[in-house]
Amino acid sequence: MATVMAATAAERAVLEEEFRWLLHDEVHAVLRQLQDILKEASLRFTLPSSGTEGPAKQENFILGSCGTDQVKGVLTLQGDALSQADVNLKMPRNNQLLHFAFREDKQWKLQQIQDARNHVSQAIYLLTSRDESYQFKTGAEVLKLMDAVMLQLTRARNRLTTPATLTLPEIAASGLTRMFAPALPSDLLVNVYINLNKLCLTVYQLHALQPNSTKNFRPAGGAVLHSPGAMFEWGSQRLEVSHVHKVECVVPWLNDALVYFTVSLQLCQQLKDKVSVFSSYWSYRPF
């Protein structure tokens, strides 16, 4: 028993030394690394001009799907907003070609990108609040900081990976449908969102349900992508989705940003795991 105790005493001294190193050196090294990664990530989001560098640059994305070519879209992304959009739709029945574009004066803000960017800048703000000169005294302090940073990073990533689930009336009511010139025909709905690293455009073709229809009317709930047959009520009309077209395009910088988020989240978690290993030692009392 005595040898066991002695061994633990020596072991403890080493552990304490190791923990001190962790708090004084390793934590700051990780924080610096995190800051570098997140700064790199936030650069990808091309922060809108805070006065000096002029308007953010425009990027064009050609959206398509591998299967059919019924819908083609060219979307122009300027920072976190869509500044231009051209949508070509080939009607399946009569092969008639429809073309819509954004009105000149209009922009459509992609809230997902803005939210992600704001969450990242909050994470950076949290990280910069402890500079090199700051001495961490307890593991709990590091864990708290990591929790706060990880919360922001998880939110940032989730905003991009999980687009909002909208109901069809919500899509119909959204401002996006009113952005187009010529105005969208009443039997079309469009929705634009970010899913992971892709910019997605969905076009829903609708047809009205006859009031005396034998079909069982069941309004569809919220979904990212509604499937044909989904029904909803809009105004006094009952409508059903007849066709769904989804086209998408990879946005390279979103891909980079997601990779950075994942890497920094893992760094945070590893640091947390390291610290918590020690804290479980500290709570140990030999009995």
Partner 1 sequence: MAGNSLVLPIVLWGRKAPTHCISAVLLTDDGATVVTGCHDGQICLWDLSVEMEINPRALLFGHTASITCLSKACASSDKQYIVSASESGEMCLWDVSDGRCIEFTKLACTHTGIQFYQFSVGNQREGRLLCHGHYPEILVVDATSLEVLYSLVSKISPDWISSMSIIRSHRTQEDTVVALSVTGILKVWIVTSEISDTQDTEPIFEEESKPIYCQNCQSISFCAFTQRSLLVVCSKYWRLLICPPVTRFFYGCREYFHKLLIQGDSSGRLNIWNISDIADKQERLAMTTSVSLQEAFDKLNPCPAGIIDQLSVIPSSNEPLKVTASVYIPAHGRLVCGREDGSIVIVPATQTAIVQLLQGEHMLRRGWPPHRTLRGHRNKVTCLLYPHQVSARYDQRYLISGGVDFSVIIWDIFSGEMKHIFCVHGGEITQLLVPPENCSARVQHCICSVASDHSVGLLSLREKKCIMLASRHLFPIQVIKWRPSDDYLVVGCSDGSVYVWQMDTGALDRCVMGITAVEILNACDEAVPAAVDSLSHPAVNLKQAMTRRSLAALKNMAHHKLQTLATNLLASEASDKGNLPKYSHNSLMVQAIKTNLTDPDIHVLFFDVEALIIQLLTEEASRPNTALISPENLQKASGSSDKGGSFLTGKRAAVLFQQVKETIKENIKEHLLDDEEEDEEIMRQRREESDPEYRSSKSKPLTLLEYNLTMDTAKLFMSCLHAWGLNEVLDEVCLDRLGMLKPHCTVSFGLLSRGGHMSLMLPGYNQPACKLSRGKMEVGRKVPVTEGVGKGTYGVSRAVTTQHLLSIISLANTLMSMTNATFIGDHMKKGPTRPPRPSTPDLSKARGSPPASSNIVQGQIKQGWSQLAAMHCVMLPDLLGLDKFRPPLLEMLARRWQDRCLEVMLR
Comparing CA positions, the residue from 227, 188, 168 lying closest to residue 98 is 188
Q: Alpha-carbon distance 118 to 87, whole Å?
A: 30
Cβ 130 vs Cβ 144: under 8 Å: no
Q: Verify binding: residue 158, partner 1, rule CB under 8 A.
A: yes
In whole angstroms, the minimum distance from the beta carbon of 187 to partner 1 comes to: 25
Q: Token digits for 191?
A: 């929705």
- Interaction pattern, residues 21-50, with partner 1; x per rule: CB under 8 A: ---------------------------x-x
Q: Of the candidates 191, 193, 175, which has an alpha carbon nearest to the alpha carbon of residue 230? A: 191
Binding residue for partner 1 (CB under 8 A) from 33, 78, 88, 121?
121
Q: What are the tokens at 101?
A: 């574009």
256 binds partner 1 (CB under 8 A): no
Determine if 151 is a binding residue for partner 1 (CB under 8 A). Answer: yes
**Candidate residues 8, 58, 60, 129; the one interacting with partner 1 per rule CB under 8 A:** 129
Q: 232 in helix, strand or coil?
A: strand
End-to-end CA distance of the chain: 11
Contact string 193-222 vs partner 1 (x = CB under 8 A): --xx--------------------------
State the minimum distance, in angstroms, from the CB of residue 224 to partner 1: 6
98 binds partner 1 (CB under 8 A): no
CA distance 27 to 30: 5
What is the rounded CA–CA span in Å between residue 15 and residue 275?
12
**Angstrom distance (rounded) from CA 108 to CA 176:** 7
Q: Based on the shown chain and the rule CB under 8 A, indicate whether residue 167 belongs to the binding site for partner 1.
A: no
Residues at the contact surface with partner 1, assessed by CB under 8 A: 48, 50-51, 109, 111, 114-115, 118-119, 121, 125, 129-130, 134, 138, 140-141, 144-145, 148, 150-151, 154-155, 157-158, 161-164, 195-196, 224, 265-266, 269, 276, 280, 283-285, 287
